[in-house]
Amino acid sequence: MKSTPATPKHPIESAAPKLLARVPMHVRWRDLDAFNHVNNSSYLTYLEEARLSWLKDIPGPWYDEHAVPVMVASELNYRAPIAWPAETTVELYCERLGRSSLSISHRIVEVGEKPSPQLYCDGRVVLAWMDPTRGKSVPLPKAVRDACSDE
């Protein structure tokens, strides 16, 4: 009997999430708080900055007046404190691509030549594209979908 490989239900989700971007992220002194480490809220700013750096370079519009991304959820695991000065890299991966939403997982790591650079933070954010004039979710812009897909 011939074995037919089952059609994967979610062909777009590959085993290894697709790397979307690796973005250098400079730590500002003002990102520290009075405990002398990067404040927990600054990590979300790093992710936002990396995400926008990725989005503004994809070929095609990632938003218009009827489709803007909004943050639905965030999950951050703080693996090691970040002191100052520091240069980091934010890696973004497409974890899950939905009709109107997108889960982007991340790793914030130490910059350098070390064989195993320090992992500062991992986790994910979930974005949904919404029509702000109607308050309803809309399909992901084609450029975003294409940029997340393994061609």
- List interacting residues with a copy of itself (CB under 8 A): 26, 28-30, 32-36, 39-42, 44-45, 48-49, 52, 56, 68, 70-78, 81, 84-85, 123, 125
In whole angstroms, the minimum distance from the beta carbon of 138 to a copy of itself comes to 16
In whole angstroms, the minimum distance from the beta carbon of 89 to a copy of itself comes to 14
The residue (of 45 and 117) whose beta carbon lies closer to a copy of itself is: 45
What is the three-class DSSP state of 48? helix
What is the three-class DSSP state of 25? strand
In whole angstroms, the minimum distance from the beta carbon of 56 to a copy of itself comes to 7
Q: Is 115 exposed, middle or buried (0-12, 13-18, 19+ CB in 10 A)?
A: exposed
The residue (of 13 and 49) whose beta carbon lies closer to a copy of itself is: 49
How many other CB atoms sit within 10 Å of the CB of residue 20? Answer: 22
In whole angstroms, the minimum distance from the beta carbon of 1 to a copy of itself comes to 47
Nearest 5 degrees, angle CA 22-CA 72-CA 70? 75
| Backbone φ, ψ for residue 105 (5° rounding) | -90, 160
The residue (of 23 and 140) whose beta carbon lies closer to a copy of itself is: 23
